[in-house]
Structure 1
Amino acid sequence: MQSLVLPILHALCFEVIHANGLNILLYSQAIAPSHVNFMGSLADLLVDAGHRVHIFMPEMVPGIQTNGTIKAQHIIRQPSTFAESPFTKVAFFADPFSDEDTSVFAPEQVNIILNGYVLFCQDFITNERLLSELRSVSYDVAITEVYDYCPIGLFHMLDIRTTVLVSAVPMTDFLADVLGLPTPLAYTSNTLSAFVNAPKLTYMERIRNIFLYFVSRNVFTKTLLDGENEVFRKYVDKYFPDLEQLTRAVPVLFVNTHPLIDIPRPISANVFYIGGVAMRQRKPLSENEVFRKYVDKYFPDLEQLTRAVPVLFVNTHPLIDIPRPISANVFYIGGVAMRQRKPLSEEFEKLTQSSSKGVVLFSLGSFTNTATMPAAMKKGILDAFHEFPDYTFIMKISLSDEDKALFAGYRNVHTFSWIDQINLLRHPSVVAFITHAGQNSVMESMFAGKPMICIPLFGDQEYNTATVLNKGVGVYVNRKNVNEKTLGNALEKILHDTRFTKAARRLKSKLEQYPWDPHGNFVRWIEYVAKFPEADIVLEGATIGFFKYFLLDILIPAFLILVVSIFVIIRLAHLLLRKLRRLLKTKVE
């Protein structure tokens, strides 16, 4: 009884205390701290604008303690009911320094990820206590990242009028495909399995790019969609709308990048960058299957639900991202998650003042388990730092007792389990940043005007590295080849070639003066689509088939007509020549 009373009391307080403003449900997958922090920053921004925000956080990856927010009125953390989360078996979570293929499209990774999303989807759409709590509040707007269709189906179940999409990473091929945005394979690279020299792809890279695109579109996305549609139609309603159609109906998309940073690609007028403010075996239930099994066997198709959202926000900036086509309901909001500048602690301030030439910051992100870093790599990094005694190196790294003894021998290296990264990057004494190239880290460094050495480990990090190289504000070191020589050469370039620092400072100035306010625009668009939730901008490319999309229904017949025409012309020419030879022979005789 108490479990039912508490959500009701909370809902009543929620409605009485806040008479004005929107009730907003923010779906934040606990899959990486950086994604949680990005979504939490959006929640805080909306609370500051006078709205009420609840966060629903499925704990996909255990051990993520942060909620990412300090202002959201209510947080619903949904622990996994499994003995072990499927996502703990994903290679780039388990050991990012492993030699095995950590791409999300590696065959063994695809099965784990697809199965994980469907299991989590089935888990919480059949949880009556959770659904009761979510239904206890009448939400005006729901906001979610989209790596699968399940949140779109959940929002439809809850009768939330408006759904908004955001992306903590630059535009993914998954989102582009759902929204019908073109993906020029000659130069756009898959965000989650990118080439660091994009958009200037080699011949073999373009071949692999085509292969990855078809795997992503026809295997990964289709399998996920079919499974999740089946879940909704089995457990919710057998007539549940198609999840892809629901997704395509969203009015706007916000992308966490910046047009000055991202690799250019086509977008549409509803896509906004907010950088500056993510023998057949019996297959497991897909997310559609989960909803159709546990909610309603006629549950709408999750892809249709996802397509029905009116807006998508992407965590990048048009100056940063690699250009690609977007539509008018996709907005870039890169930088929106950056906190206000604060003074450094006394310890960090003392370190920044102690160096004669400057400070180099080293951090491989909040999610990377640096304890698994091979000993040879640690030794190579330290030896490279030793070659630059006039610089102070501040490292975020987890150390064993044995490691501490090793690191103690390098006087210009200082290690911490946590660093105030954003405020250190803003400090004038910091001259460079060695990073895993996570989206938030890249954004923070670019907005701070600091050149980078990128060591991408997994996910979107190679894509983000490509944006760094594309802007001339950093260099790349392969994670499988980090040693004294490679890192030393990279440091030599970044610290002594002034072109990198000049380019980073110029990009910083451009970002600061770019005529776009990600914070204000994000809030205004949320308020707008709450009133007008219809997906007014829906590209036809999202719904047409493969043959029609690539004009193969025209090109193949045209090619056949051309071949037949050439054959006929050659045949006629041959017959005419034979006829002429006979005539000439007759005249001679």
Structure 2
Amino acid sequence: MAVIEKLLVVVLLFSQFLQLGGFKVLTLAFMGGSHYLLMDEISNILHKRGHEVRMLLQEGVRLTPGRHYEHSDTYQVTKWSASENVIDEYNKWFHNFTKDCLKGRTTVHSYLDLMGHLASQCHFVLNESRTLSSLKQEKFHLAVIDAFNPCSFLVAEKLGLPFVAVYPGTFVNAPQAGIPSPLSYVPLAQSLLSDRMDFWERLKNCLMSLFAPKIKNQIYDKFDNVIREHFPATPRPALPELYLKAELWIYDTDFSIEFVRPLLPSTVYIGGLLAKPAKPLPQEFEDFIESTGEAGFIIVTLGSMLSSIPFPQLLKEINKSFAQLPQGVIWRYQVSHWPKEINLAPNVKIAEWLPQNDLLGHPKVRLFVTHGGLNSLMESVYHGVPVVGIPLFGDQHDNMIRVEARNMGLSVSIDQLEANSFGSTMKQVIGDQRYKAAAEGLSTILRSHPFPPEQRLAGWIEHVLKVGSGTHLQPHAFHQMWYQQYLLDVWLFLIASLLGMLYLCLKLIGYITLKACNTGKQKQA
């Protein structure tokens, strides 16, 4: 008994030590779907490391129908919501937006419209004076924010908290974060280019870079009214300045799939954070997989935001293509939205929700048909499963460019999807062992990283917490004027000096020539 009592005392002392050594961290989750899943995982990891974590969570945003994402009661949650009218307007817009995506008609204007809706919602959280005052009184040491939504930066600034920015994708916003992006081998977002560009592709990349600042400014303009209303005192914060104010930039990507590029010391990549060793499947899935025999099965999901296809003709083509396959098909689809006039292919099982990571880790999986979201692709890389992508919007097209560059799979355009060609593409990726070998090779790269994603994430955040700042990881360029960063003042000085020297030389030559002419005339006289 004495030994047990001593052990209990040691455990209590150790737990108190952990509690005393922990920090208070506020996480901001203002988006649904995969964005929420990533922030939830980060919150759980930090909590398990002994920190006191609270999430400021927006309610009313779209999640996957049929599957309610709830945190595992390991950290506290404070919720807020925009008005019903604003949320309804956003959901209606998003419904129409997904229809446009399925028709292959997304544009930059769609992205700007999304930012406009996020700005409208931002007014409500900044008006939550009681909630924000309560959070201020808790004296958090650090905020960890979803950097996709600019409102997160404004809330962190309103609370007066240093913050770590988590971007749920590839380095598409690298210039905003101050990360060097040489145009000769770093393709811009939406360029659909790889890192191996010929002359014309590098020309395209350069020309696109001229228009990129205009798009950024249009995004900033969406939040101008928010900043003016909620930050009345001058100088007001500006989004470009807030992006450079982040203590760390954390990206949900990995160089197993991402193109190699230069990074700053304040940049951390944690791709694969949601990928885990596979757990046993629910019996209904295991029974279906068993019925597929040696042919195995494929997984189909078009992301957390798209649970059904409202176009019967497109749905018929996809369903018909699956019927051509010898494999079984497990398809995440909202069962209640399946049209009665379309007979589901006999080898297809539809379900409201899929244990995606666990299915990808099953030994009989042959292919993953995906929208190209980065979380899904990183899980596919982790488990070494080749993919066929149907990119719909955002970074998904660029993500699939990376997949094809790594020979891990092929991409299909949604507006050109036809049963026979789609079926042939799936058969090609399943039948050609090069795709499987490439996927397994990428899996080896990801899994053999010297430090797992959880350790990189927590280690760097704790480094900033202990030091009190991440400024020692940032270049002085963040504090230079734009003309100083590009050495325009130096080049102007050198050019002016060269022109001055050239002018003096010409004047000297003129003087010598004139002197020589005058001397000659005097001799002749």
Q: How high is the TM-score relative to the length of structure 2?
A: 0.82
Q: Higher helix proportion, which one? A: 2
Judge conservation of contact 1:169–1:315 (CA < 8 Å) in 2.
Answer: yes
| SS of residue paired to 2:101 | coil
> Rg: which structure is higher?
2
Distance 1:557 1:490, change over 3 A: farther
**1:38 Cα deviation from its structure 2 partner:** 0.7
Q: Is the 8 Å Cα contact of residues 28 and 36 (structure 1) preserved in structure 2?
A: yes
C-alpha contact (below 8 Å) 1:153/1:306 kept by paired residues: no
What SS does the aligned partner of 1:319 have? coil
Equivalent residues in 2 for 1:16-95, closer than 5 Å: 19-30=20-31, 32-59=32-59, 61-62=61-62, 66=68, 69-81=71-83, 83-85=85-87, 87-88=90-91, 89=93, 93-95=97-99
Query: Conserved in 2, the CA contact under 8 Å of 1:172 and 1:190?
Result: yes
Give the superposition deviation at 1:211. Answer: 4.7
Report the Cα offset of residue 122 of structure 1: 2.9
Partner of 1:393: 329
1:96-175 matches, within 5 Å, as 96-99=100-103, 101-103=105-107, 106=108, 108-160=109-161, 162-173=162-173
Give the letter for the 1:56 counterpart: L
Matched, 1:333 2:328: no
> Conserved in 2, the CA contact under 8 Å of 1:96 and 1:458?
no
- Report the CA distance between 1:532 and its aligned residue: 1.7
Equivalent position SS for 1:526: helix
The 5 A counterparts of 1:246-261 are: none
Query: How far, CA to CA, are the matches of 1:21 and 1:198 in structure 2?
Result: 43
Would the alpha carbon gap of residues 109 and 543 (structure 1) be closer, same or farther in structure 2, given more than 3 Å must change?
Answer: farther
1:390-539 map, 5 Å:
390-399=326-335, 403-408=339-344, 410-534=345-469, 535-539=471-475
State the distance in 1 between where 2:286 and 2:243 align.
47
Report the Cα distance in structure 2 between the residues aligned to 1:403 and 1:203, rounded to whole angstroms: 49
Report the secondary structure of 1:143's partner residue.
strand
Q: How far off its partner does 1:550 sit?
A: 5.0
Q: 1:28 to 1:215 in 2, by over 3 A?
A: farther
- State the shift of 1:63 in Å: 5.5
Q: Distance in 2 between matches of 1:371 and 1:131?
A: 40
Question: 1:144·1:166 contact (CA, 8 Å) conserved in 2?
Answer: yes
CA–CA distance in 2 between the matches of 1:543 and 1:60? 39
C-alpha displacement at 1:365, in angstroms? 1.2
- C-alpha distance in 2 between matches for 1:131 and 1:119: 18
Report the alpha carbon displacement of residue 352 of structure 1 after superposing the two structures with TM.
1.4
Aligned partners of 2:246 and 2:156: how far apart in 1?
10
What secondary structure is seen at the aligned counterpart in 1 of 2:166? strand
CA deviation digits over 1:257-312, x for unaligned, max 9? xxxxxxxxxxxxxxxxxxxxxxxxxxxx1x4324324xx45444443343222211
| Counterpart-to-counterpart distance in 1, 2:204 and 2:58 | 34
2:195 to 190, 194, 199: 199
Of 343, 356, 361, 2:299 maps to 361
* Cα contact 1:54–1:72 (8 A) shared by 2: no
Change (3 A) 1:506 1:110: closer
Q: Output aligned runs, 1:360-379, within 5 Å.
A: 360-372=298-310, 374-379=311-316
C-alpha separation in 2, matches of 1:489 and 1:483? 10
Instruction: String of CA shifts for 1:547-576, please: whole Å, max 9, x gaps.
Output: 5555566778989989xx9xx99xx9xxxx
Cα separation, 1, equivalents of 2:95 and 2:68:
23
- Contact 2:369–2:390 (CA under 8 A) maintained in structure 1: yes
Aligned residues: 481
Q: What is the Cα deviation at residue 20 of structure 1?
A: 4.5
Query: C-alpha offsets along residues 513-567 of structure 1, whole Å, 9 cap, x if unaligned?
Result: 22122212221222221122321132355455665555566778989989xx9xx
**1:152 shift after superposition:** 2.9
Residue in structure 2 matched with residue 315 of structure 1 by the alignment: 252
Q: Deviations over 1:350-396 (max 9, x none)?
A: 11111131101111111114232x222222222222222x3111111
Tell me if the contact between 1:92 and 1:458 (Cα under 8 Å) persists in the aligned partners. Answer: no
Query: Residues 177 and 542 of structure 1 are in contact (CA less than 8 Å); yes or no, is this contact kept in structure 2?
Result: no
In 2, are the aligned partners of 1:164 and 1:312 still within 8 Å (CA)?
A: yes
2: CA distance between counterparts of 1:367 and 1:99? 16
Distance apart, 1:330 and its partner CA? 0.6
1:491–1:48 Cα change, 3 Å? same
Q: Deviations over 1:219-238 (max 9, x none)?
A: 3333444665x6xxxxxxxx
Residue in structure 2 matched with residue 221 of structure 1 by the alignment: 216
- TM norm structure 1: 0.74
Higher percent of residues as strand: 1
Structure 2 regions of 5+ residues with no counterpart? Answer: 1-15, 510-525
Distance in 2 separating the partners of 1:59 and 1:202: 47
8 Å Cα contact 2:102/2:392 also seen in 1: no
Instruction: Specify the SS of the correspondent of 2:61.
Output: coil
Q: d(CA) in 1 for partners of 2:48 and 2:400?
A: 33
Rounded Cα–Cα distance in structure 2 between residues aligned with 1:559 and 1:471: 45
Aligned-residue sequence identity (percent) comes to 23
Of residues 360, 376, 381, the one that matches 2:318 is 381
Amino acid at match of 2:167: S
Name the CA distance, whole Å, in 2 between partners of 1:94 and 1:140. Answer: 39
Deviation track 1:421-470 (CA, whole Å, cap 9, x = no partner) reads: 11011000111111101111100111011000011111111121122112
Task: Report how far residue 113 of structure 1 moved.
Answer: 3.3
Does the residue aligned with 1:165 lie in a helix, a strand or coil? strand
Name the CA distance, whole Å, in 2 between partners of 1:519 and 1:134.
26
Q: Is the 8 A contact 1:450 1:504 kept in 2?
A: yes
Instruction: Answer whether contact 2:86 2:120 (CA < 8 A) is retained.
Output: no
Secondary structure, in 3 states, of the residue corresponding to 1:169? coil
CA 323–492 in structure 1, closer or farther in 2 if over 3 Å, else same: same
